[in-house]
Amino acid sequence: MFSRLRPLGVVGLGVGGVVVGYLAGNHKTVAHNSWTTNFKPTTPWDWNWDRRDPSSLIEPTTKPDGTLNKSALKKNETDDEKTERATCKATRYILLVRHGQYNLDGATDKERTLTQLGEEQARLTGERLNELDLPITRLVYSTMTRATQTAQIMMKHMKQQIDTVETSDLLREGAPIPPEPPLGGWKPERHQFFADGARIEAAFRSYMHRAPPSQTTDSYEVIVCHANVIRYIVCRALQFVPEGWLRMSLHNGSVTMLVIRPDGRVSIRQLGECGHMPPNKLSLT
């Protein structure tokens, strides 16, 4: 009598809004045309996610005790001038590189060195960044052996004059947050999540933010680190639920690119990109 897919009809909602419902077996599907349904996100985009919105950067003219701050007043700036001085003007392109394949049998970090394939992956990724000829000004790498080796091999193959090369313990591999869906055997109350989570969040806050107002040209920066750290940073930067980090998987030596605009808008241009590697250089297992 009834077909399996049964239109329920059209229901008016809001001014000219329409919702079309279907019953497909026991599954109910609702299609909204969002330009007419007064869509309100449950968690709207937080424009001041990095606390670098001009409103956060303009110094108050009063001191914490309520008295006037004479040195702030002495600048005698109009509100527009203050805002201009605190406004970001440039875009940051952040390239997150996962280290190459490494020896999983090593007992300590020092012994977990890149395999021969891992070294080749690092070389191919360095050559790729060289070919792209991006004006890279900064490269930061995790202090773990496999990331350090990857960064050093990459730099040998890049002709860019990188002004700032830094290492960071914040970027070391770890367990960022209990994943959803859970992973068997990983108890959410594991002490690793408790300790690493705060550190990896600190890595996100330290490295992912809009450019400082003093920066006048767009910048390209490379961060060489680890799959869990990159996946967590991607979720946080895009304001997706961080618990979803384990739903993504990244190739060894792959490049993920996040773009941070002056107004605080963030987009992802590529995730785990590894098209620069011939098939026999991809480590799939």
Ligand X SMILES: *[C@@H]1O[C@H](CO)[C@@H](O)[C@H](O)[C@H]1NC(C)=O
Binding positions for ligand X, rule: CB under 6 A: 59, 63, 69, 71-72, 76, 101-102, 104, 249, 251-252, 283-285
Residues 6 or more apart from 285 whose CB is under 8 A from it? none
Shortest separation between residue 84's beta carbon and ligand X, angstroms: 14
Comparing CA positions, the residue from 100, 92, 94, 165 lying closest to residue 126 is: 100
Q: Which two tokens stand for residue 152?
A: 């050093």
HEC string of 191-222? Answer: HHHHHHHHHHHHHHHHHCCCCCCCCCCCEEEE
Residue with Cβ nearer ligand X (124 or 260): 124
Residue with Cβ nearer ligand X (15 or 104): 104
Q: How far apart are CA 281 and CA 44, in angstroms?
A: 41
Residue nearest to ligand X (CB): 72
Shortest separation between residue 71's beta carbon and ligand X, angstroms: 5
Shortest separation between residue 22's beta carbon and ligand X, angstroms: 38
Shortest separation between residue 23's beta carbon and ligand X, angstroms: 41
Inter-residue contact 16 to 36 (CB < 8 Å): yes
3-state secondary structure of 260: strand
Shortest separation between residue 258's beta carbon and ligand X, angstroms: 20
Q: Which two tokens stand for residue 186?
A: 């990983």
Dihedral of CA 133/159/127/154: which sign? negative
Give the CA distances from residue 226 to residues 15, 45, 59, 132, in Å, rounded to whole numbers and listed in that order: 49, 27, 37, 22
Shortest separation between residue 231's beta carbon and ligand X, angstroms: 12
Shortest separation between residue 144's beta carbon and ligand X, angstroms: 12
Inter-residue contact 232 to 198 (CB < 8 Å): no
Residue with Cβ nearer ligand X (160 or 283): 283
Residue with Cβ nearer ligand X (33 or 249): 249
Residues 6 or more apart from 270 whose CB is under 8 A from it? 255, 256, 257
